Amino acid sequence: MDKETKNITDFINQKTGKNTGFLIPENYFDELEDNFTSEITIRSLSKKEVFTTPSNYFNTVENTILTKLDITTSKETKVISLQKRILQFVPLSAAAAVLLFIGLNYFNTNNTNTFDDITYTEITSWYENGYGETNNTDLATFLESEDFEDDFLTSINDNNLENYIDNIDEATFINEIE
């Protein structure tokens, strides 16, 4: 019979969608003792009011505190203008900047460069980067005839000259002609 009862309850539970007949909240037994003791504590407290406040206490508390502190709201505060202070330092800072500029330029005059300090590679890179332009008359004034050796023109053979002309870029050649 026990088996029949179990089958009947399982059938009813399937039709109703319930697993058991009774439901309890989750963690009910874990919190039961705490709930029970807190209920007993609340019931044991007295119901009479222990603390009382005077009538209109919360309406007048702010004024009472202010009168005890003796703070007057009409006290005038002194305002210091920052604009006047800043304008006092503007001429001073301008004079300091001028003195600093003059001093730095005066003490850095011992660094003078001469033409002897310039190297051949610096001059070459200057002309290669397009910073200088010269023509034949300018070169002729600076170069003396002694700078050229007599065998300079005879040392160029025809094969080297043909290779130079064959390998030259046409755009470069046109630029040299102009």
Residue-averaged pLDDT of the chain: 78
Compute the distance between CA of residue 15 and CA of residue 8 in angstroms, rounded to an integer: 11
Segment 20-32 mean pLDDT: 75
Q: Which two tokens stand for residue 87?
A: 């304008």
Give the distance, in angstroms, between the CA of residue 109 and the centroid of all CA atoms in the same chain.
40
Cβ count within 10 A of residue 36: 10
Residue 101 is predicted with a pLDDT of 92
Looking up tokens 């330092």, which residue turns up?
Answer: 89
How confident is the model over 30-55, as pLDDT tens digits? 888 888 888 888 777 777 777 788 88
How confident is the model over 142-175, as pLDDT tens digits? 666 555 666 666 677 888 888 887 887 778 767 7
Query: How far is CA 110 from each of CA 106, 107, 113, 115, 119, rounded to the nearest angstrom?
Result: 9, 7, 9, 16, 21
Residues 140, 148: contact at Cβ < 8 Å? no
Q: Give the lowest-confidence range in 10-14, 38-42, 68-72, 110-114.
A: 110-114
How confident is the model over 72-97, as pLDDT tens digits? 656 677 888 888 888 889 999 999 99
- The whole model's pTM is what? 0.22
Backbone angles phi, psi at 25, to 5 degrees: -65, 155
Q: Which two tokens stand for residue 175?
A: 């630029």
Nearest CA to 131 out of 112, 118, 116 is that of 118
Q: DSSP state, 77?
A: P
Residues 13, 20: contact at Cβ < 8 Å? yes
CA dihedral (164, 165, 168, 172) positive or negative: positive
